Structure 1
Amino acid sequence: MTSAGEKQHYAIALIIELFKNLPSDMVVGILYDIGCQLDRSCNKWDLIPDLLPRIIFAISVFHAYGHQWPCQIVYHPRKCVGFGFSDGEGCERLWSALKALIPTLRVSGVCGRFFCICFHGARVVDGFW
Structure 2
Amino acid sequence: MALLCHHDCVIHLANMTSAGEKQHYALALIKSLFSHLPDDFHIGLLYDIGCQLEQSCRKWGYLGPFLPRISFAISVFHAFGHQWACQLIYHPWK
- The answer, yes or no, to whether TM exceeds 0.5 is yes
Deviations 1:24-78 (A, max 9, x none): 1000000000000000000011111100000000000000000000000000000
Structure 2 portions without partners, runs of 5+? 1-15
| Structure with greater Cα Rg | 1
1:31 partner amino acid? L
1:69 is aligned to 2:75: no
Identity of aligned residues (%): 68
**Structure having the larger proportion of residues in strand:** 2
**Structure 1 CA distance, aligned partners of 2:69 and 2:60?**
17
1:38 is aligned to 2:59: no
**Structure having the larger proportion of residues in helix:** 1
**Structure 2 CA distance, aligned partners of 1:4 and 1:73?**
30
1:22 partner amino acid? L
**Structure 2 CA distance, aligned partners of 1:20 and 1:7?**
21
1:8 is aligned to 2:4: no
User: Cα RMSD between the aligned structures?
Assistant: 0.5
**Structure 2 CA distance, aligned partners of 1:70 and 1:64?**
10
**Structure 1 CA distance, aligned partners of 2:50 and 2:84?**
15
- How far did 1:3 drift? 1.2
**Structure 1 CA distance, aligned partners of 2:72 and 2:59?**
15
Number of aligned residue pairs? 79
- How far did 1:4 drift? 1.7
**Structure 2 CA distance, aligned partners of 1:34 and 1:9?**
13
**Structure 2 CA distance, aligned partners of 1:48 and 1:70?**
24
